[in-house]
C-alpha cells in the first residue's frame, strides 16, 4: 500500500512541476495574437497546485508539520472560472461582456483559506475531515460543474456566430474545449468518488489523467490563436464606406461614427429587399466562383457586392434558414457535382475535387455533400447524375 501511495505521490508531483512550468510559460506569452493566454496560464498553475495537500499527506509531511494542514491550495472556486474567461477572450464573441463575476467566489475562497491557514493548529485539526470540509469540497466540485456548463454554452454560441461569418471553421470551432470540459467533468466525478469512498486505484487513474490534461491543455493553449471577431471589421467597413449606398439605407444608423445598430431594424427589411439582396449575392457568387476560396468570409462577400455583412447574414438566415457557412458550402457541392462530370475529374481524386470546389478537408466535403445530396461523393462519382437516393 505504501508503494502505491508513493507512486501516486510521484505522479502528482510530476503534475505539479509540469503545471507550474507550463502555466508560467503561458502567462509570459502575451503577444497580440495570444493576448488571452495569461488566463489559461493562471488556470493551469492553480489546477496543478490542487494535489499539493494530498502529496504532503501521502508522504507523512503533514504529520511531521501539522501547521501545514489546510493549505489554501484548493482553488475549486477559482481555477475553472479563469478557464471560462480564457475561452471568452479567444472566441469570436470576445466583444461581449466578460464574466468576471465568476471569479468572486474564488477570490473569497482564497481570502477565507488564508484566514483558516493561519488559525491555531488545534482549531485547524478540528476542521480537518469535519463536515464543513466535506461541504466545502462538494460545493467546490459543484461550482466547477456549473462553470463547465457555462463554458459549453459559450462554445455553442461561439460556433453559431462563427458559422455566420466564416466558411472555414477548422481550428476556429474550439473542438478541443469541448473535449477538455467533458474530460474535466469525468475527472472531478472520479475525484468525488475517491474523496468519499477512498478508491486508491481510481485515484491513481485520476492522478495520471491530471498529468495528461495539463500537458494537453498547455499544448492547445500554445496553438490556439484568438479568433477574430468580424464585428470589428464590420465597424471598420462602416467607417471606411460612409459614402456607400449601404450606409444610406434607413434601416441602418451609426452611433459615434463607427457602431452600426442594425439588429433592431432588421425586422423592417421587406421580403422584396431580402429577395433582391439574395439575387445580387447569388449572381456574384456564381459569376466569380468566390466560394472556391477556402477561407472566404462574409466580409469578403460584403466588400464585393457592397452590402453590409449583417444585412447579408440576415437575408441568408431569414429567407433560406441557413447560416453563411452552409450557404457557401452548398455552392461548393454544386460546383463539385459539375467537376465530377467534367474532364477535370479524370485527373483529380475525390479529395482533389473537394479542394478544387473550395473545401478545406475531405471530412467537411463528405459531410456537406451527403447532407445536400443524400449520398457520398464517391457514390455520386460512380453513378453520375443518374444516381438515385
Write the CATH number for 163. Answer: 1.20.1070
Instruction: Report CA Rg, the chain.
Output: 27
Q: Are residues 245 and 364 in the same domain?
A: yes
Q: Are residues 115 and 163 in the same domain?
A: yes
Q: Report how far apart, in Å, the C-alpha atoms of 107 and of each of 45, 46, 70, 98, 135 are.
A: 16, 13, 17, 17, 18
Q: Are residues 263 and 382 in the same domain?
A: yes
Query: Residue 369's pLDDT is what?
Result: 93
Query: Residue 232's pLDDT is what?
Result: 55
Query: Residue 223's pLDDT is what?
Result: 83
In DSSP terms, 254 is beta-bridged to 260
**Do strands 259-260 and 254-255 pair parallel, antiparallel, or not at all (unpaired)?**
antiparallel
Question: In the listed set 206, 223, 240, which residue is the last one of a domain according to the structure?
Answer: 223
Q: Which grid coordinates are listed for 158?
A: 461561439
Q: Are residues 180 and 251 in the same domain?
A: no
Query: Residue 287's pLDDT is what?
Result: 94
Q: Report how far apart, in Å, the C-alpha atoms of 154 and of each of 66, 99, 189 are.
A: 43, 11, 22
Q: Are residues 51 and 144 in the same domain?
A: yes
Q: Are residues 55 and 109 in the same domain?
A: yes
Domain CATH for 325: 1.10.10.60
Q: Are residues 318 and 353 in the same domain?
A: yes
pLDDT of 366-386, one tens digit each? 999 999 989 899 888 887 655
Distance CA 84, CA 76 (A): 14
Distance CA 183, CA 148 (A): 10
Q: Are residues 213 and 248 in the same domain?
A: no
Question: In the listed set 223, 240, 264, which residue is the last one of a domain according to the structure?
Answer: 223
Query: Residue 359's pLDDT is what?
Result: 94
Query: Residue 230's pLDDT is what?
Result: 65
Q: How many domains would you assign to the chain?
A: 2
Q: Are residues 212 and 249 in the same domain?
A: no
Contacts of 269 (CB under 8 A, 6+ apart): 251, 311, 314, 315, 318
Question: In the listed set 223, 252, 270, which residue is the last one of a domain according to the structure?
Answer: 223
Distance CA 389, CA 379 (A): 10
Q: Which domain holds residue 122?
A: 2-223
Q: Are residues 190 and 241 in the same domain?
A: no
Query: Residue 77's pLDDT is what?
Result: 94
Query: Residue 243's pLDDT is what?
Result: 43
Judge contact between 148 and 181, C-beta under 8 A: yes
Q: Are residues 197 and 253 in the same domain?
A: no
Q: Are residues 202 and 101 in the same domain?
A: yes
Q: For the chain, how many helices (H) and strands (E)? A: 18, 2
Query: Residue 31's pLDDT is what?
Result: 58
**Residues in the chain with pLDDT values less than 70:** 1-5, 30-35, 229-268, 384-389
Amino acid at each position: 500500500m505504501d508503494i502505491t501511495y508513493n507512486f501516486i505521490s510521484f505522479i502528482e508531483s510530476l503534475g505539479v512541476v509540469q503545471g507550474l512550468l507550463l502555466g508560467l510559460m503561458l502567462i509570459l506569452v502575451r503577444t497580440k495574437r495570444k493576448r488571452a493566454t495569461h488566463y489559461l496560464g493562471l488556470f493551469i498553475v492553480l489546477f496543478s497546485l490542487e494535489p499539493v495537500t494530498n502529496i504532503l499527506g501521502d508522504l507523512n509531511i503533514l504529520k511531521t508539520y501539522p501547521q501545514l494542514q489546510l493549505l489554501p491550495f484548493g482553488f475549486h472556486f477559482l481555477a475553472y472560472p479563469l478557464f471560462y474567461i480564457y475561452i471568452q477572450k479567444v472566441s469570436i464573441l470576445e466583444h461581449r461582456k466578460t464574466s468576471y463575476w465568476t471569479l468572486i467566489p474564488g477570490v473569497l475562497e482564497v481570502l477565507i483559506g488564508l484566514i483558516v491557514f493561519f488559525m491555531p493548529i488545534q482549531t485547524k485539526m478540528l476542521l480537518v475531515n469535519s463536515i464543513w470540509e466535506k461541504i466545502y469540497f462538494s460545493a467546490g466540485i459543484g461550482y466547477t460543474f456549473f462553470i463547465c456548463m457555462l463554458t459549453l454554452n459559450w462554445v455553442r454560441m461561439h460556433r453559431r456566430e462563427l458559422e455566420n461569418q466564416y466558411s472555414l471553421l477548422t481550428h476556429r470551432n474550439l473542438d478541443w474545449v469541448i473535449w477538455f470540459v467533458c474530460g474535466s467533468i469525468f475527472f472531478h466525478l472520479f475525484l468525488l468518488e475517491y474523496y468519499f469512498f477512498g478508491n486508491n486505484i481510481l485515484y491513481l487513474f485520476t492522478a495520471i489523467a491530471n498529468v495528461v490534461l495539463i500537458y494537453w491543455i498547455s499544448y492547445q493553449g500554445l496553438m490556439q490563436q484568438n479568433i477574430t471577431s468580424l464585428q470589428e471589421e464590420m465597424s471598420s467597413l462602416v467607417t471606411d464606406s460612409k459614402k456607400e449606398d449601404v450606409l444610406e439605407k434607413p434601416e441602418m444608423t451609426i452611433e459615434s461614427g463607427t457602431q452600426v445598430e442594425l439588429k433592431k431594424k432588421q425586422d423592417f427589411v421587406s421580403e422584396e429587399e431580402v429577395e433582391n439582396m439574395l439575387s445580387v449575392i447569388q449572381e456574384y457568387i456564381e459569376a466569380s466562383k468566390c466560394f472556391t476560396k477556402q477561407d472566404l468570409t462574409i466580409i469578403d462577400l460584403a466588400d464585393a457586392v457592397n452590402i453590409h455583412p449583417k444585412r447579408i447574414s440576415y437575408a441568408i438566415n431569414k429567407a433560406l434558414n441557413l447560416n453563411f457557412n452552409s450557404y457557401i458550402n452548398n455552392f461548393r457541392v454544386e460546383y463539385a457535382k459539375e467537376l465530377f462530370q467534367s474532364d477535370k475529374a479524370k485527373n483529380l481524386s475525390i479529395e482533389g475535387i473537394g479542394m478544387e470546389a473550395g473545401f478545406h478537408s475531405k471530412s467537411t466535403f463528405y459531410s456537406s455533400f451527403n447532407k445536400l445530396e443524400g449520398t457520398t461523393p464517391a457514390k455520386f462519382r460512380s453513378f453520375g447524375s443518374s444516381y438515385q437516393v
